[in-house]
Amino acid sequence: MTQRKYALELLYTAGILDEKPSNVSIDRNVKLTADACEILPDATLYRKLVGKLIYLTITDLKFYAQHLSQFSQAPRTTHLQALYKVLRYIKLCPAQGLNFPSKTNLILQAYCDSEWGTTQLQEA
């Protein structure tokens, strides 16, 4: 379960396959706002990339994808720059995921205790 191929396609679509990867996912010093600077003349690429990023969402990228998608109505230059920063971060680790060999006896099971939070509160 890896999205390496999709991540590389996203980087190709963004035109940054040849750029240096980033070891941080977003510049925390940049404050993204709806009225930051000039509006992009054509928001098509921004919307397409954010949509692909939302689909990709791995680990901490969910927050950034959601945050950047808030500006899809009228994305600014700073929003696109922040998006490219996240994409360069993806370039550093495009193959993150879970590897399950095809020839294995692995049985994946998951459990969820929906009462855990209330049980802990009652005991306290």
| E strand or H helix at 17 | none
pTM of the model: 0.51
Identify the residue whose tokens are 């490219």. 84
**CB count in 10 Å sphere of residue 106:** 6
Per-residue pLDDT of the chain (124 residues; tens, 9 = 90+): 567 788 888 889 999 889 898 887 777 787 888 887 889 999 999 999 988 887 776 555 777 888 888 998 999 999 999 988 888 887 877 666 656 667 778 776 776 666 655 555 555 4
Which sequence spans correspond to the domains of the chain?
4-123
SS3 65: helix
Sign of the CA dihedral running 68, 71, 73, 77? negative
The span from the CA of 96 to the CA of 18, in Å, is: 20
